[in-house]
Amino acid sequence: MSDQSTDRPSAERVSVERQAPRELQTGSVAPISSGASEAAEGAWTRRLVFYLRLMAALAVFKGLYHWAEVTGFIGSDDTVFDVQPTSWQAATIYFAVIELVAAVGLWLATPWGAVVWLTSVVSMGVIELMFPTIYGGNFLIVVIDVVLLGIYLGLAWMAALERPP
């Protein structure tokens, strides 16, 4: 019996080689990329991601501040976590957790990160306006949160306009 299978390529192998791109035939280790992802990211999208990362850093700071209040790293003996009202304790723990979760999502520029951050901002606004006995009803915090939210919405709108439908 002769061994002709090694001398001639089979018809199946020839047809596969004709269909495969040149990069796959040569065994290149470079990643396959269409280049569309780099070109699709416009200036407004980059600004939005930068803003999300800035808000993530702020959320980390706020979350760690609330955890410092819970653990007693900041404050005096009169303002320690144990002597605060239950509503203050619940709100502080809520914000200690949600701010850090939002920070992770914002840093990764994920849709859920923006949703969690929005929940945090709206929650703080509601607590400051509707329940002023918890944190003191500081109207300046509400104004700052509205401005930060407006900037986010403006950047998200402009970034969405950059992408074709």
Model's pTM, two decimal places? Answer: 0.72
Q: Which residue carries 């653990």 as its tokens?
A: 71
The SS3 of residue 138 is: coil
Mean pLDDT for the stretch of residues 37-60: 87
The answer to whether the beta carbons of residues 146 and 125 sit under 8 Å apart is yes
Quote the pLDDT of residue 5. 52
Residue 91 — very low, low, confident or very high, per pLDDT cuts 50/70/90? very high
DSSP 8-state class, residue 109: T
Give residue-wise pLDDT tens across range 93-142. 999 999 999 999 999 999 999 999 999 999 999 999 999 999 988 999 99
The domain segmentation of the chain, as residue ranges, is 42-162
Residue 30 — very low, low, confident or very high, per pLDDT cuts 50/70/90? low
Residue 34 — very low, low, confident or very high, per pLDDT cuts 50/70/90? very low
Tokens describing residue 63:
């979350």
Longest dimension (CA), the chain: 97
Quote the pLDDT of residue 80. 87
Give residue-wise pLDDT tens across range 65-79. 999 999 988 878 778
Between vectors from CA 155 to CA 153 and to CA 160, what angle results, nearest 5°?
Answer: 95
Of residues 140 and 22, more confidently modeled = 140
Residue 6 — very low, low, confident or very high, per pLDDT cuts 50/70/90? low
Mean pLDDT for the stretch of residues 2-18: 54
Task: Name the H helices within the chain.
Answer: 11-19, 22-26, 36-40, 43-71, 86-107, 111-130, 132-135, 139-162
- Alpha carbon distance 80, 73 (integer Å): 9
